[in-house]
């Protein structure tokens, strides 16, 4: 039987074993640091998604009870006129609001990149401030501004003895929400573009000036192409957010006089089905069907940008 020889104080431990032990300890400490986030992430995102996916595969009726539906709920969702109506609205909304947000953010970032001193810091703060305001408070504020009875827009119009248009009416709700969303998110996108501009080597601008380029040419032909990756990232973010449109129209519904219907967007439709009609299974299928549409839209965009290098160069 072999007898182990104890390691004396002067015996050297192999360097490889020490390195492996150090990596294990560092790895353990790293996992301990991210463990709280992982627990919250799994508990409040992964687990609800798994449960919602499970619910979407079943159907529940008073007479039939709970039965396995498979993909029947998804087939029903894509054939549902209310789901397609809401999906068509967010698609039309995306076509206008996404370019508008990018243009506003890009112009603001290019202007701020030329401004120096305290005015630049103040301007950045003022443009970013709407994003710092919670969506609920921002929507409530716009609801007050849009109010046809006591809102300041109506009061200013009445001072000139005219009637202000109600921006949440049936014919104007599209434009009213367009204004709210652009105001809410352009500042956030501006910060992303501004950070990308600050990462550009200033010697490139000097070379362009030596070649005779003016401020407008430098902005359009040098700065914009060089922040193309930031613009593509913004487009993905805005596409995902717009297709999941929910908070602003849902909060403004009480004062919209019926213009914002229960099937106004797919997310509002899913909310109505789940919490007003207790159709949790079908509402889960609606949510996952919308997620599939978002995934396909983003995948197509990523494929196009990968093939062409960038949409902005």
Q: What is the pLDDT of residues 134-154, one digit of tens each?
A: 999 999 999 999 988 888 888
Banded model confidence at residue 17, pLDDT cuts 50, 70, 90: low
Query: What's the pLDDT tens digit per position in 69-86?
Result: 889 999 999 999 999 999
Q: What is the pTM of this model?
A: 0.83
Q: Is the pLDDT of residue 178 over 90?
A: yes
Does pLDDT of 155 surpass 70? yes
Per-residue confidence (pLDDT) for residue 150, from 0 to 100: 80
> What is the spatial distance between Cα 215 and Cα 208, in angstroms, rounded to a whole number?
10
pLDDT of residue 30: 80
When the candidates are 3.40.50.720, 3.40.50.2300, 1.20.1260.10, 1.10.3720.10, the CATH number that belongs to 81-308 is 1.10.3720.10
Please tell me the predicted confidence (pLDDT) of residue 107: 94
pLDDT 10s digits, 99-143 = 999 999 999 999 988 887 777 788 888 888 889 889 999 999 999
Determine what percent of the chain is predicted with pLDDT higher than 70.
89
Mean pLDDT across the stretch 162-180?
90
Q: How confident is the model at residue 1 (pLDDT cuts 50, 70, 90)?
A: very low
For the chain, the first-to-last Cα distance in angstroms comes to 74
pLDDT of amino acid 212: 87
Contact yes or no for 242/94 (Cβ under 8 A): yes
Average pLDDT value for residue range 153-174:
86
Q: Return the pLDDT at 177.
A: 94
């Amino acid at each position: 039987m072999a007898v182990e020889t104890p390691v004396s104080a002067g015996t050297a431990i192999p360097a490889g074993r020490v390195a492996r032990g150090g990596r294990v300890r560092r790895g353990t400490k790293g996992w301990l640091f991210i463990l709280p986030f992982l627990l919250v992430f799994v508990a409040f995102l992964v687990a609800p998604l798994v449960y919602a996916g499970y619910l979407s595969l079943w159907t529940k009726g008073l007479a039939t009870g709970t039965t396995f539906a498979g993909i029947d709920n998804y087939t029903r969702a894509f054939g549902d006129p209310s789901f397609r109506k809401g999906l068509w609205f967010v698609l039309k909304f995306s076509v206008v609001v996404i370019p508008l947000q990018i243009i506003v953010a890009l112009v603001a970032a290019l202007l701020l990149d030329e401004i120096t001193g305290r005015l630049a810091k103040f301007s950045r703060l003022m443009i970013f401030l709407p994003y710092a305001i919670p969506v609920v408070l921002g929507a409530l504020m716009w609801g007050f501004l849009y109010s046809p009875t006591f809102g300041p827009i109506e009061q200013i119009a009445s001072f000139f003895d005219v009637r202000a248009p109600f921006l949440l009416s049936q014919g104007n709700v599209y434009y009213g929400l367009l204004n709210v969303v652009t105001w809410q998110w352009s500042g956030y996108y501006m910060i992303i573009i501004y950070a990308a501009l600050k990462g550009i080597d200033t010697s490139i601008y000097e070379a362009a000036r030596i070649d005779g380029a003016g401020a407008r040419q430098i902005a359009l032909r040098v700065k914009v192409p060089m922040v193309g990756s930031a613009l593509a990232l913004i487009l993905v973010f805005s596409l995902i957010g717009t297709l999941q449109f929910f908070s602003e129209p849902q909060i403004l519904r009480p004062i919209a006089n019926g213009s914002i219907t229960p099937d106004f967007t797919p997310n509002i439709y899913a909310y109505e089905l789940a919490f007003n009609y207790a159709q949790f299974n079908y509402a889960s299928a609606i949510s996952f069907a919308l997620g599939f549409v978002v995934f396909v839209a983003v995948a197509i965009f990523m494929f196009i940008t990968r093939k062409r290098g960038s949409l902005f160069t």
